[in-house]
């Protein structure tokens, strides 16, 4: 290190230049390197995976509650107020037997709920384990979740911001890469 006033060499830890009396400038802290960026990004991925797991559990519980209520409403379990929007009887004056419409509709909704929950769990687990396929799956599921306002939309946007782009793809690829150290000269 050299004095900023006269250019004389300074000893390490010397507070004042002995030639001109000028205070030595503080050492500049090192700029965080790529390893710091990767570690910071790993924390974001970990948080994102935890939120996907929470979202999967929340979606499953609210879906079960909603389907249970809908089934009870459609099957007149609410007394005289449970006639439902389809008029008298279980499904109103539909030309189809009640079993076809009800079972098919609820079966489809149950399947959609289970598939959505399974995808969210796979995304959470894959991101937590830092698998390469998890990044692509998370981007796809994030696009699908954008329609589930407000929580799915917020999680979808956050996922797309964290995972998309060249810089983020490079950082994600480096999460499982062995550390590289500079070679001595």
In angstroms, the CA 10 to CA 128 distance is 49
Burial degree of 151 (CB within 10 A; 0-12, 13-18, 19+) = middle
C-alpha span between 180 and 169 (Å, rounded): 18
Per-residue pLDDT of 149-173, as tens digits, reads 999 999 999 999 999 999 999 999 9
Domain boundaries, the chain: 1-30, 34-174
Rounded to 5°, angle at Cα 99 from 97 and 103:
135
Residue count of the chain, please give it: 185
d(CA 93, CA 90): 9
What pLDDT, in 10s, does the model give residues 37-87? Answer: 889 999 999 999 999 999 999 999 999 999 888 877 776 665 555 454 544
Does the predicted model carry a pTM greater than 0.85?
no
pLDDT tens digits, 118-131: 999 999 999 999 99
């Amino acid at each position: 290190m050299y004095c900023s006033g006269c250019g004389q060499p300074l000893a390490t830890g010397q507070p004042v230049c002995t030639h001109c009396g000028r205070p030595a400038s503080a050492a500049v802290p090192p700029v965080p390197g790529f390893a710091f960026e990767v570690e910071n990004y790993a924390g974001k991925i970990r948080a994102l995976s935890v939120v996907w797991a929470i979202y999967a559990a929340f979606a499953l519980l609210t879906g079960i509650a909603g389907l249970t209520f809908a089934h009870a409403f459609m099957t007149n379990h609410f007394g005289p107020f449970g006639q439902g929007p389809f008029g008298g009887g279980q499904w109103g004056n539909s030309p189809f037997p009640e079993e076809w419409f009800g079972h098919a509709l609820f079966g489809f909704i149950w399947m959609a709920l289970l598939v959505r929950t399974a995808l969210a769990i796979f995304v959470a687990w894959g991101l937590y384990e830092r698998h390469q396929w998890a990044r692509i799956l998370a981007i796809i599921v994030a696009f699908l979740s954008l329609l589930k306002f407000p929580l799915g939309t917020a999680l979808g946007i956050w996922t797309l911001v964290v995972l998309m782009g060249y810089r983020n793809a490079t950082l994600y690829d480096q999460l499982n890469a062995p550390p590289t150290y500079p070679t001595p000269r």
